[in-house]
Amino acid sequence: MSDRKRTENFREHLGNVSEKGKRIWLYPKIIKGDLYKYRTWVSWVLLTFLFAGPFIKIQGRPFLLLNFVDREFVIFGTPFWPQDFFILAVALLTFILFIVLFTVIFGRVWCGWACPQTIFMEMVFRKIESWIEGNANKQRKLDDMPWNWEKVKKKGLKHIIFYLISFLIANIFLAYIIGSEALIEIITEPVSEHIVGFTSILVFSFVFYMVFAKLRELVCIMICPYGRLQGVMLDRNSIVVAYDNIRGEPRGKIRKNQDQSDKGDCIDCGLCVDVCPTGIDIRNGTQLECVNCTICIDACDSVMDKIKKPRGLIRFDSVENIENGIGFRWTTRIKAYIAVLVLLIGVFVAILATRSEFKAVLLRTPGTTPVVDQQGFVSNSYTMELVNKTYDDIRYNIKILNFDGANLIIPDNNGLLKGGKVEKKVLMIRIPHDMINSNRTTLEIEIERPDIGDTEVFETVFLSPLKRKE
Ligand code: SF4
Ligand code: SF4
């Protein structure tokens, strides 16, 4: 079935699936227009950042580490521990809300311009494929021809390079999880010492290879949950890659010596369909498969240039604007959504800025009662949890502020909490029974960090039986 025929029954099946339910392998043409050029630059910046990410250090710490195994996360050089779970939860919620709001306003720009799947597919793997196998027509011919030396050579070379790049991506992916040092250990030390790590790299490599060599657009159309949610996030006011049907219709081919005045600007050349990496015809309206890669805009602009018509028959715009014949406007809705986005980011930054690096929690030890010993002292037991959220060691002193005769006993305490550690300490407070005149005495306990001059004061209750009058 030809591409053109496919567009006529687009509602019955996906652009890359035949009427019989078989996958149609896509051979999208590459058009190097203005937007493609900008996308290439954006991709290089993002790829550089992605590959350099695990090796960038801020004061000796990773720039980004997402160690789900040991529940250790470093974001922009700031470590987060399991105790910061609520911050990560807020971050995740903010991120999801951001994506939803952003999509409602600007459509699926993320997919076409920033998603690693699209960047690798279109800017790395697709380019290598066309470098080895030639343009879309040559690729189609190569696939159709029987196996011969040329086909073996080209396919073999392509798949070897695809696997090597997938292997590289798998290494980087793993470095984000376990850290660059651990990855270098896996690479440089004998395989037998890192069976799990090495197997993970091979498994990830195979998955990435399958994604880019075989699955391709299926990831965006069928697998990615974000892609599948487009139907509920977009509406008539969302800015998307859209065809101006008012201007373009009725479409029709240019024929020599024929009056074209009753025709729209679309000359039905089909180039916008031929370049689409998800195999759709954007002239049928916004579709779930569209990843906003904008290459159809470049394609159509190049056609408009040739036939001397204004660019923008396919452009970034909302259905509402197109139908009302108005250009892009900063509507109240867009401004309100942007205000919410800014607010969300502000809240998150405020949470980050006020996050403490050192946390202490003091509780009476559950299930214990005051003990009166033979020397005439009353003892209460407490549990203190100290959390060091930095990578540096923290020195601290603990003292009781408001009761002169009280003794604080902390077994095995050296007043030093190692970087990234959580310690639980049992504290014993002893007070001469004679000095107590209430069965509930409020004590103020201060934790001081002498290196930075920071203090924190906790209030706790000291229980005691009242002394019998003799
Ligand atoms: S319709 Fe256009 S923007 Fe959407 S995926 Fe196809 S080529 Fe990309
Ligand atoms: S590239 Fe432009 S002119 Fe050609 S079919 Fe698509 S919309 Fe029509």
Query: In the prediction, which pLDDT does 468 show?
Result: 66
Q: Do 90 and 144 sit in the same domain of this protein?
A: yes
How far, rounded to the nearest angstrom, does the alpha carbon of residue 438 sit from its chain's CA centroid? Answer: 57
**Predicted confidence (pLDDT) at residue 163 exceeds the cutoff of 90:** yes
Pick from 72-81, 115-124, 383-392: least confident: 72-81
Ligand 2 center from residue 312 Cα (angstroms):
11
Nearest CA to ligand 2 atom 4: 269
Q: What is the pLDDT of residue 138?
A: 96
Check whether the bond before 465 is cis (ω within 30° of 0).
no
Burial of 61 (0-12, 13-18, 19+ CB in 10 A): middle
Mean pLDDT across 431-436: 91
Question: Residue 361's closest CA among 407, 425, 267?
Answer: 425
In a domain, 470, yes or no: no
Q: Cα of 236 to ligand 1 centre, how many Å?
A: 18
Q: Does 298 share its domain with 216? A: yes
The pLDDT value recorded for residue 3 is 44
pLDDT in tens, 125-160: 999 999 999 999 999 999 999 999 999 999 999 999
Please report whether residue 45 resides in a domain.
yes
Q: How far is the CA of 290 from the centre of ligand 1 (A)?
A: 5
- Residues 370 and 351 occupy one common structural domain: no
pLDDT of residue 230: 78
For residue 24, the enclosing domain spans 1-355
Q: Does residue 117 sit in the same domain as residue 253?
A: yes
Query: Which residues contact ligand 1 via a Cβ below 6 A?
Result: 241, 275-278, 280, 282, 290-296
Residues in the chain: 470
Calculate ∠ Cα 213-219-224, nearest 5°.
Answer: 155
Total of domains in the chain: 2
Element (H, E) at 346: helix 332-353
Nearest residue by C-alpha to atom 8 in ligand 2:
266
Give, for ligand 2, the residue of 8, 273, 300 to mutate: max count of ligand atoms closer than 8 Å to Cβ: 300
Average pLDDT over residues 415-441: 89
Q: What is the mean pLDDT of the chain?
A: 88
Ligand 1 atom with the shortest distance to the CA of 279: 6
Percentage of the chain beyond pLDDT 70 is 96
Domain ends where: 355, 374, 401?
Answer: 355
Residue 470 has pLDDT above 80, yes or no: no
Assess whether 11 and 88 both reside in one domain: yes
Least confident of 35-49, 130-144, 155-169, 250-264: 250-264
Percentage of residues of the chain with pLDDT beyond 90: 46
Nearest protein CA to atom 1 of ligand 2, as residue: 300
How does pLDDT run across 318-335, given as a tens digit for each residue?
888 898 877 667 777 778
Q: Is the domain of 223 the same as that of 132?
A: yes
Rounded to whole angstroms, the Cα distance separating 81 from 354 reads: 16
Residue 10 has pLDDT above 70, yes or no: no
Domain CATH number, residue 426:
2.60.40.10
Which residue owns the Cα nearest ligand 2 atom 3? 266
Gyration radius (Cα) of the chain, Å: 32
Higher pLDDT: 450 or 208? It is 208
Kindly state whether residue 468 falls inside one of the protein's structural domains: no
pLDDT value for 152: 96
- Specify the 3-state DSSP secondary structure of 317: strand
pLDDT tens figures, 323-368 = 887 766 777 777 887 888 788 888 888 887 887 888 888 898 888 8
Looking at residue 259, its pLDDT comes to 75
Q: In terms of domains, do 331 and 203 share one?
A: yes
Backbone φ and ψ for 414, nearest 5 degrees, come out as: -110, 10
Q: Is the whole-model pTM more than 0.75? A: yes
Shared domain for 422 and 326, answered yes or no, is no
Identify the pLDDT of residue 100: 80
d(CA 59, CA 48): 21
One domain, residues 376 and 450:
yes
Residue 122 lies in a domain: yes
pLDDT at 465 over 60: yes
Q: For 380-423, how does the pLDDT look when each residue is reduced to its tens digit (9 = 90+)?
A: 999 998 888 888 889 999 999 988 889 999 887 888 998 878 88
What are the Cα distances from residue 180, in Å, to 48, 65, 97, 163, 195?
16, 9, 31, 21, 17
Ligand 1: centre distance to CA 279 (Å): 8
Q: How close is the Cα of 267 to the center of ligand 2, in Å?
A: 6
Distance between CA atoms of 126 and 136, rounded to whole angstroms? 10
Residue 469 counted as domain residue: no
Evaluate whether residue 27 is within a structural domain: yes
Phi-psi region of 463 (alpha: psi -120 to 50; beta: other; left: phi over 0): beta
- In the reported structure, the alpha carbon of residue 157 is separated from the centroid of ligand 1 by a whole-number distance in angstroms of 29
Based on the domain organization, do 362 and 346 belong to the same domain?
no
Give the residues across from 133 on adjacent strands.
Answer: none
Q: How far is CA 409 from CA 292, 404, 406, 428, in A?
A: 65, 14, 10, 5
